[in-house]
Structure 1
Amino acid sequence: MHGRRKILVTGWFSFLHGEATAGDVLALDRVRAVLRAAGLAHDTVWSPGFRADGLHFAGVDPAAYSHLVFVCGPAHGEQVEELHRRFAHCVRIAVGVSVVDPDSPAVTGFHRVLVRDAPGAGPTPDLAARAPGLRAVPAVGVILTHGQREYGGRRRHGEVADAVTGWLGGKDCARLELETRLDTRDWRLCATPGQLEAVLSRLDLVVTDRLHGLVLALRAGVPALVVDPVAGGAKVTAQARACGWPALVPCKQLAPGALERWWRWCLAEGTEEARRIAAGFGAGAVPDGADRLVAALDAASAG
């Protein structure tokens, strides 16, 4: 009987005006793993807004399928009801869904509803909880600036931000946009340096075009892929040199190849090098301006 079945797997991640959440896609992975283990042939429909290269409803021939499985999310609304009309000949099953109104056509149109939660029914774990394990990806903080107008015509901040974020969008990593500016009134920003360091210390890498993006990453023992956004180099390049940090890309040399090379280095050798530099900061291995401050005050007073 399995050989005669062809299942179309759908969900809110399939609709043109739906959305793909991490939980929905993990729930989908759980269902597909079960279907593969049972030897059941199936296709998955994706929203063209999320997976342009996937199978979309516009390209689906309903006659090619004997069953339709709707995965996760709420079982309600016109888009779900349209599935019942378009795939009326299919056996239709909802799995891992929330039922708000048991009498709605979106719910009653299914032959079976395997609920996640529903009025009068005991809840079951969401499908995402038992989805197949995921490959670990690096957690990357992104600290960029569009300001620093003091550099006048040498400013390349906008071009650098566009190039870096465009490149990062294609990397398989968890991106976290960060800001070094502190604010005690905006909950989205850190209010103290300690709060920001708590975030930085948990990252695998920081990508930045800011001087303090570099310094604070290294202080936390985290490698930084640094781009100097000023033509000819400025304070970012000077600080990388002062810290002995090599993963620096001048804006005139900004290209995917250079970014990729330093990305690989930062996530390999760079991790240990960042920790070594952080230890040197703590030990005061390299003098800074504050080491000469008292002498400068005395000299200025004596003069």
Structure 2
Amino acid sequence: MLTQDDVRPKRVLLAGWFSFRDGEATAGDVLALHRVEEVLRAADIPYDVVWSPGFRPDARHFDDVRPGDYSHLVFVCGPLHGPQVEELHRRFAHCVRIAVGTSVIDPGSPAVTGFHRVLARDAPDSPPVEDLAAHAPTLPARPVVGVILTHGQHEYGQQRRHGQVAETVTRWLAGKDCARLELDTRLDTADWHLNATPAQTQSVLARLDLVVTDRLHGLVLGLRVGTPVLAVDPVAGGAKVSAQARACNWPALLTAERLDERGLDRWWYWCLTSGRVAARQARDAFREDAAPDSADHLVEALTDSARR
């Protein structure tokens, strides 16, 4: 008679499209994986996950895996098709192979028939079930950061440090646990990638936790809606971004010459804490017209010009 230990998986290998060398990891795939991991942990079933070396270079990859170490292979999420999935059946022929949360396009495909069992989310002639990602463990929110950088402004000539600034800022941001949103203040009525009106741009900025920018209007428009701004002046010696930060009494500014990760980290923390209040105060000051701007003198200038 078989005991529970006889039928219990010895060790499970979890794989998916996020595992292949030329595959890709999507947020939905990884959340589906988290759901499967949750189920296996609750059942006290040991498992390993195999990742694409392009996505997680330091994790376990198929090249590191010894198939004999596993009793079961579970393929998580995505469509069941193609030679990469078929190869899993050959390499892990001794394993019990199960697909879970997958889409079946052709039930007769070797990629599908190679599994001992398919727990599909959708398949021909079968009612669909909710995707695994819908039931994945809840994740804590992360800061949403708008990134507004420019590679132009050639009028500054040899003082330009835009390339170095962009490289330093984007490399630093890549290491931050945040949701990054690349934005542009340029408007375009024909290109759907860009906003067509200032109101549309403002609506995006107002929903962010932070703006990181080396543009003057990235600074001003962020503060205008009360969103903290981490500003970098990309011009050696300081130029319009530094001048505008002074005019707005906004402290979260780094110069091109003093740009480093330590300074970025310092202002990052400030912007996401005390800077939230400071940004709302800057927004309220703009709305109250508390400080004069150059347009306040325009009528006088026009009148004086007419007299000459």
**TM-score, length-normalised on structure 2?**
0.97
- Identify the match of residue 30 of structure 2 among 25, 30, 45: 25
Match of 2:202 in 1: 197
Q: Report SS of the residue matched to 1:8.
A: strand
Measure how far apart 1:3 and its partner are: 6.6
Alignment pair present for 1:6 and 2:8: no
Alignment pair present for 1:264 and 2:269: yes
Match of 1:116 in 2: 121
- Identify the match of residue 179 of structure 2 among 174, 183, 186: 174
- Separation in structure 1 between the aligned mates of residue 261 and residue 9 of structure 2, nearest angstrom: 48
Q: Report SS of the residue matched to 1:13.
A: coil
Gapped regions of structure 2 (runs ≥ 5)? none
- Identify the match of residue 212 of structure 1 among 206, 213, 217: 217
- Separation in structure 2 between the aligned mates of residue 133 and residue 16 of structure 1, nearest angstrom: 28
Match of 2:20 in 1: 15
Alignment of 1:1-303 (within 5 A): 1=5, 5-303=10-308
AA matched with 2:297: R
AA matched with 1:290: A
**How has the CA–CA distance of structure 1 residues 128 and 59 changed in structure 2, closer, same or farther, with 3 Å as cutoff?**
same
Q: Report SS of the residue matched to 1:10.
A: strand
Which stretches of structure 1, 4 residues or longer, exceed 4 Å deviation after superposition? none
Deviations 1:114-168 (CA, angstroms, capped at 9, x unpaired): 0100000000000000000112110000001111111111110111011111111
Measure how far apart 1:4 and its partner are: 5.5
- Separation in structure 2 between the aligned mates of residue 4 and residue 194 of structure 1, nearest angstrom: 57
Asked if structure 1 preserves the Cα contact closer than 8 Å seen for 2:9 and 2:72, the reply is: no
Q: Report SS of the residue matched to 2:129.
A: coil
AA matched with 2:98: I
Measure how far apart 1:300 and its partner are: 2.0
Measure how far apart 1:302 and its partner are: 2.3
Measure how far apart 1:299 and its partner are: 2.0
Q: How many residues in Structure 1 have an aligned counterpart in Structure 2?
A: 303
Measure how far apart 1:5 and its partner are: 1.4
- Separation in structure 2 between the aligned mates of residue 209 and residue 18 of structure 1, nearest angstrom: 34
